[in-house]
Amino acid sequence: QKEVEQNSGPLSVPEGAIASLNCTYSDRVSQSFFWYRQYSGKSPELIMSIYSNGDKEDGRFTAQLNKASQYVSLLIRDSQPSDSATYLCAVNSGGYQKVTFGTGTKLQVIP
Amino acid sequence: GAVVSQHPSRVICKSGTSVKIECRSLDFQATTMFWYRQFPKQSLMLMATSNEGSKATYEQGVEKDKFLINHASLTLSTLTVTSAHPEDSSFYICSANSQGATGELFFGEGSRLTVL
């Protein structure tokens, strides 16, 4: 069983719609959760971090965490073509060597 | 966010030569840095954890004699790909953690290595 699982996609949404990206993780002691955006040929860029259950909003982005279900999601409102990228879910279970990345979900926002 | 700089961004070398990639934390001290490799359309693969003042910790299957890591200061880690071969061609990315063990990882720009 993979430690951090994401649907590889591609997830296609029309411009202006809400994109919903999901991630599950296996380690119950995980403490920190991150979403990174990676454009093709570029390195990952941190867009959201979340540490406690519930929602965290930052502009058009909302991260949602449910530790009981071991589930973290990212919602992108008013999706733009520039949001088209691969989104990586990352989970830190404590300690410098325990950041685990999912394989990423490719998002395509159709103009 | 914290700034991590990587150099060079692109390098082309002949088979059998060695290539050094530098990773610097510009506005914070990083006792630990991480080196990743990413092949086209694949996910990030952690290669090794670089520890300032001590030996790097390599992931299973990564040859430590092939990928030499040196972390001589709190702001600089280097990855040297020794005797490079075409199969080593990849996107190499470093990252560092600026906020302790549970903080966010910040990535360098990445270095695209092409071995002819």
Spatial CA neighbour of B8 closest among B18, B29, B22: B22
Hey, is the C-beta of B72 within 8 angstroms of any chain A C-beta? Answer: no
Task: Test B93 with A92 for CB contact under 8 angstroms.
Answer: no
Query: pLDDT higher for A2 or B105?
Result: B105
| Out of B93, B101, B109, closest to residue A95 by CB | B101
Q: Which residues pair with A66 in a beta bridge?
A: A71
> E-strand spans in chain A?
4-5, 11-14, 19-25, 32-38, 45-50, 54-58, 61-66, 71-76, 85-92, 99-101, 105-110
Average pLDDT over residues B73-78: 92
With b meaning 16 or more CB within 10 Å and e meaning fewer, what string describes A53-72?
A: eeeeeeeebbbbbeeeebeb
Average pLDDT over residues B28-33: 87
Distance from CA of A94 to the nearest CA of B (A): 6
Average pLDDT over residues A88-105: 82
Query: pLDDT higher for B52 or B15?
Result: B15
Neighbours of B46 (CB within 10 A): 18
- State the average pLDDT for chain A: 92
Q: Give the pLDDT score at A88.
A: 96
Q: Give the pLDDT score at B72.
A: 84
Q: Give the pLDDT score at A99.
A: 81
Q: Any idea what DSSP says for residue A18?
A: P
Q: Is the pLDDT of residue B80 over 90?
A: yes
B40, B20 Cβ separation under 8 angstroms: no
Q: Is the pLDDT of residue A96 over 60?
A: no
